[in-house]
Amino acid sequence: MNRRECLLAFAATLAAGPVAAQGFPVRPVTILNGYAPGGSTDIAARIVGEGMSRHLGGKPFVVENRPGASGTVAASWLKRQEADGYTLLLSESSSFAIWPAMYAEGVKYDPLGDFDWVATICTSPMVFIVSPDFPARNLAEALDLLGSEKSKDLNYSSSGAGSIPHIAAELLRSKIGPKNASRHIPYRGGAPAVLSVSKGETAWGVASLGSASGLMQGGLVRALAVTSPSRFPLFSDIPTFGESGLKEMELNIFYLVHAPSGLPSEALDLLNKSSVAALTEETTRLRFLNAGMLAWDGENTAASTKAIVATELDRFKGVATKTGIRILG
């Protein structure tokens, strides 16, 4: 190769951008998670991060927890970071759909315009959980109890104000009727919210199955219904809300990976492909299943992931219009 050819090759490398020039990734990648450790979002981030690492030369994917305001604190922070592929966020429906659709003061980011959506990771239904000594033994009895004067002493937990479990609980309360006087006790993640129910600090709650499954299996909380259209494979004894005629309670949580807008195309492609490759591994899929989540097996591109965001955003705008539910500052 002569000098002119060398210069042309060097110029082409520079034009391809830092990702191609450096052989992305050359250092650890951070996956943010907007909740406290131990909840479903934290678990999903760790499972997929380990899988992505295996398909990107073994470079570490480090999970960092930035809890607050149902994941919106982490999303706002992500928006301000460099779009180099080394800072990602695993978000769930609360931060990319519910808060943008329902927060009265508005969030400080545009879920469609401020981020590059990388991949769809998994989904999880939610469960209506009660404390071990909760008097009702099934959904019908629980709804009767929560529609009585006794409900003033039966407060409920969620993973945070405006989180999708909180919205699901409010939808359930709207079905129970105006006599329900349960007070909302928000926590900074699914794990502490479920723990509060197990300890009897709160009487009931709605939580992602991923956050609740461990304590359910240990008998420390009881699940009376699940929000999925059909029963979850590992918990086939738990009936769906739909079986009791509450079709409006059919809600799934989506877990998606995204980055600041402007990600180099090479990095976006590599991150997407490593995510998809990880989700095809039987061990990864089994880990998600055992954690109360289902690894995504549908179309999985940056475009299809962004389409999910748009669909869910429209859906919760519709819920807000229909029910009048708003998140107040």
Helices (H), the chain: 3-16, 18-22, 40-54, 72-79, 93, 99-102, 139-146, 164-176, 190-198, 209-217, 265-279, 282-290, 302-323
Percent of the chain with pLDDT over 90: 86
Instruction: Return the pLDDT at 223.
Output: 98
Rounded CA separation 280/97 (Å): 27
Mean pLDDT of the chain: 92
Residue 252 confidence (pLDDT): 92
Domains of the chain: 3-123+253-323 (3.40.190.150), 125-249 (3.40.190.10)
Whether 17 shows a pLDDT value over 90: the answer reads no
> At 222, which amino acid appears?
R
Instruction: Indicate the pTM of the whole model.
Output: 0.86
Which residue's entry shows tokens 């590059």?
Answer: 116
- Alpha-helix residue ranges (DSSP H) falling in 83-153: 93, 99-102, 139-146
Answer positive or negative: Cα dihedral of 43, 48, 53, 54.
positive
d(CA 111, CA 94): 11
For the segment 149-178, the average pLDDT, to the nearest whole number, is 94
pLDDT band, very low/low/confident/very high, at 84 (cuts 50, 70, 90): very high
Residue type, 47: I
Confidence category of residue 302, pLDDT binned at 50, 70, 90:
very high
Provide the pLDDT confidence category of residue 22 given band limits of 50, 70 and 90. Answer: low
**pLDDT tops 60 at residue 4:** no
CA–CA distance, 220 with 223 (Å, rounded to integer): 10
**Amino acid, res. 313:** L
> Is residue 251's pLDDT more than 60?
yes
Task: Say what the pLDDT of residue 2 is.
Answer: 53
Position 126 scores a pLDDT of 97
List the beta strands (DSSP E) in 131-230.
Answer: 156-158, 184-186, 204-208, 222-226
Q: What is the pLDDT of residue 79?
A: 97
* Residue pair 264/18 in contact by the 8 Å Cβ criterion: yes
Q: Which two tokens stand for residue 120?
A: 């769809």
* pLDDT tens digits along 139-150: 999 999 999 999
Identify the residue whose tokens are 């219904």: 225
At 207, the amino acid letter reads A
Return the pLDDT at 20. 40
Place of tokens 């909302």: 184
Structural tokens at position 93: 């429906």
Q: Indicate if the pLDDT at residue 19 is higher than 80.
A: no
Cα–Cα distance for residue pair 38/17, rounded to 1 Å: 37
Please report the pLDDT score of residue 325 as a whole number.
Answer: 85
φ, ψ at 217 (rounded to 5°): -65, -30
Q: What is the pLDDT of residues 188-217, one digit of tens each?
A: 899 999 999 999 999 999 999 999 999 999
Rounded-to-integer distance, Cα 170 and Cα 180, Å: 11
